[in-house]
Amino acid sequence: MCQANLFRVPSHLVSHSGRYSIVSALILLILVGLPGCDKQAEIHSYRTEKPDQVRAKNQVEPAASNAPAKEAPAMASPAKPAEPVRMLAAIVPQPEQTWFYKLTGPVAAVQSQAEVLAGFITQVEYKDGRPAWSLPEGWEQREGNQFRFATLIIPSAEGPLEMSVSGLPTSGDEVTQAVDNINRWRGQVGLGPIASADLTGATDDLSSETSVRVVAGDRRIYFVNLVGTQQETGMRPPFAR
């Protein structure tokens, strides 16, 4: 609270006639002391809008005619049925290496090569554990890679066919190894497995579908003729060839 700067006037200076002068002086002193009082600070308050309110006021929506039209999601095309394929393949066990020949392609085109293929594989000789052959007319040999010994290109009315030739170390029982690889091939065209006993009654005819032919002589050759649909399978050595 503000206090006035007051002082007392000595009594000997006060007279009856000067009483009014003293009162006037006191009032003047009070008025002079008032400017020394502290003024109470004024408090101001402000009101601000939230960001979403400011955005709503200032955002301009595009005209309906200029707004991009929303496209309906594209409908997935139905999957195309898988085309049937034929696989002609052969397994030729040797003391150190077992050799695998496999030709896969259109059913009719591959079947037209069945007897030529069987004759070629039967006549292949193995020197130092590696196949040595004379190619039929029109066939072409291409270099292999880490997964195959060679690739043979065979002409046909429906276009060139590709036969892979690969080798793996011979291990375990011959029939068991043959059945394991035949079943892997059968799986690649959507067919179920066979048992070792099924090789006992194998036919000697490569013209029939889904057949196994065992040729016995100075060496045993396991031929297979399979018809099915190509399956999506990853390469898993040693059988996926």
In tens, the pLDDT along 74-124 reads 555 555 667 899 999 999 999 999 999 999 999 999 999 998 998 999 899
**Please, what is the average pLDDT of the chain?**
75
DSSP letters spanning 137-185: TT-EEEEEETTEEEEEEE--TTS-EEEEEEEEE--S-HHHHHHHHHHHH
Calpha distance 186→228 (Å, rounded): 8
- Split at pLDDT 50, 70, 90, the class of 161 is very high
**DSSP SS3 for 196:** helix
Q: Mind listing the pLDDT tens digit for each residue in 164-213?
A: 999 999 988 988 999 999 999 999 999 999 888 887 766 666 665 555 67
Residue 26 has pLDDT above 70, yes or no: no
CB 229 within 8 A of CB 83: yes
pLDDT of residue 210: 52
CB 114 within 8 A of CB 206: yes
- Split at pLDDT 50, 70, 90, the class of 236 is very low
pLDDT of residue 61: 56
